[in-house]
Amino acid sequence: MTSPASGARHLTAIIARSHGSRWPDADENDALRIDHVLLDEQAGVVAMLTFESVGRERQACELALIAAAREAAGPDAQEDLRYLQSVAAATGVHFARPGAAPAAALHRRRFAMPDRVLLSSVPGAAGAGAFAMLVLPGGPLESAAALAGVALMRPRPRVCGVHLVGALPFGAGAAEMLEATARALDHETRGAVLECHGVGVAQVPMAVRIAYSALAPLRLGALAVVWPSDEVTRDHLRVCGRESDWRRLEGDGQRFERAVTLALDRLSMAEHAGVTRVRIGALAEDDDLRALAAALAGRRVAPGVTLEVIAGGRAAREAAPEAFAALEAAGAQVRDPAEAEALQPLEDGALACGEESGVAEGRTRIAGPWGCAVAACGQAQGDAAPGAMPAARPGSGALGAGEVLEPAAAGAASAIEHGAAHRPPRVPEAFAGPLLGTVVLAAGDDASAARLVPWGPRAQAVRGDALALAQLAFRDLDEKATARALAAGGGFVVAGAHFGGGPHAEAAARVLAALGVRVVLASTYDDGQERLLALHGVLPLRWQRPEDTAALAAGDILEIAGLPEALAPERRLAIRDLTHGRTFQVSHALAPHLLDAVREGGLLGLVARAQAPAGGSAT
């Protein structure tokens, strides 16, 4: 057992303290140094353009990886890939050839290792918690800051200990463990780190650990899952040809904010009657595919049932060719990740393994390989005789030569290839003096991110240029708002309840910042939106009286005096309505480090002006 530092007992604290945390002596917010940054083609374009604006020539993390999930389709996507490959080579970032594997799976195969902190927003990234890694969600802006070597400030999470005893019954796996965890913790999992420990850990296969870790944020709202690094981890890394990356890392199972025990041998596999569509997603492990093939041996997919297997790129096909052949022989439809059918969300009631579609909303049921096989054959779980589970094959998870490109040496890379929609953002100005501006948008209630920046193919194509993206914004709210903001050089946005939030929330914050909006006034914000706005240099304020939002309209002139000195924790501000001669009282709920970011015009402004070296200041 690893000897923890003073005050640290559980594994999460041990990892945090080794990365700059003062746990458990930290205040509510704590700084963590980031080791690995993982990006796909979606977040990678915005993150790397932002990193260019920081002003550093080379990234400062232990490892940064960009992995495009699929081959380029269309000129915009081709420009994105050329940009990503060239900027990766120039800045010291590894680049995976398109179609090698989903970004999260590729990182686990090649780079995941104990006692590291990973920052990523790609699907399935949380699965790296199975390797004794602490995985934090983070969008393009924070990814760029981490690449610059800046330790990131995060609220110190609750850590819930999940003590495992016994061994999993045949066929039971991550889905059953997640349901049992939800019942045991009674909805206390949201925003928490779940740490698995105890004698039962050794009985949980690596594929189940990965699935449990990857799905817990979606199914339970957990921040992350952390498993110890033990002999199971060592065997998995050995199979991947990376035993040298292993080290034993365990906590002592104490000082959790909440602790529960799961008796694995009491779990029973859920019945999935009436399922007509089963999908094995691209995030499934090689061992999941082999187990599914073994479970289907001698069986056929039932009439009226569709079994889709989304091949997780060339790496998965090369690691388990016999499994894919057996699955096709059983009647499964093996699809490439780029096929239109593979990109379609699953309908309500579908059953999935290695798939995130619909899990967060509860529309998709999740199961392990055995449960998926039983449902695909139209059988009840009790009627299906178990087949032999295959052992991991030596060499499983290896990547072909040249799939991951090493970055060029400093000074040796060719020029970065920018496309038409690749514009590094400008470094925002810091707050200075009184803020005087125009209301450029009166958004009303329920101004979600989807209403602020409607997303579709056009938005996707120009996501690397925030000003071009702004031309598509606000059309459902006020089609003149973008022109008004550009003419005024920025200003204020006023709104009612439930501002922001939802998919592409960070894109909405980027657009507001690019237009020069410095303040949003709203009654309430959706989860996380105030933090996103502050990181982009937009001050999120709350009305003291919700009815005041109806008193302002687009074109009104507002002033906030005393800035930036008035930006202090828990301090109210006064906003003067110069158009009508009124004053409104407002407040904010920002932590000190977010106020620091706002004063500097956002995280980009703070990092760019500090020119932070590796291991530099935290924000």
DSSP string, 238-269: HHTT-GGG---B---S---SEEEEEEGGG--P
Backbone angles phi, psi at 203, to 5 degrees: -95, 0
pLDDT tens-place string over residues 83-97 = 999 999 999 999 999
Q: How far apart are CA 446 and CA 300, in angstroms?
A: 48
Residues with pLDDT less than 70, the chain: 1-8, 26-27, 70-75, 380-401, 611-619
- Dihedral angle over CA of 101, 103, 106, 107, nearest 10: 180
- The 10 Å CB-count burial string (b at 16+, else e) for 556-572 is bbbbbeebbeebeeeee
Task: Give CATH superfamily name and number for 435-601.
Answer: Aconitase, domain 4 (3.20.19.10)
Instruction: Give the pLDDT of residue 72.
Output: 55
Q: Please give the pLDDT value at position 76.
A: 79
Residue 12 to residue 420: CA distance in whole angstroms: 44
3-class DSSP state for residue 96?
strand
CATH number of 277-379: 3.30.499.10
Handedness of CA 65, 282, 81, 450 (dihedral sign): negative
CA-to-CA separations, 343 to 164, 277, 280, 308, 376, in angstroms, rounded: 36, 15, 13, 12, 20
Domain ranges, ordered by start, for the chain: 11-21+28-266, 277-379, 435-601
The pLDDT of residue 52? 96
What is the C-alpha separation between 84 and 60, in angstroms, rounded? 17
Intrachain domains 11-21+28-266 and 435-601 with the same fold: no
Per-residue model confidence (pLDDT) at position 380: 61
Q: Two tokens at 468?
A: 């071009």
Determine the CATH number of domain 11-21+28-266: 3.30.499.10
Buried b (16+ CB within 10 A) or exposed e, 208-230: bbbbbbbbbbbbbbbbbbbbbbb
> Edge-to-edge strands of the sheet including 277-280?
333-335, 306-310, 277-280, 351-353, 365-366
The pLDDT of residue 395 is 46
* Tokens found for residue 609: 């002006």
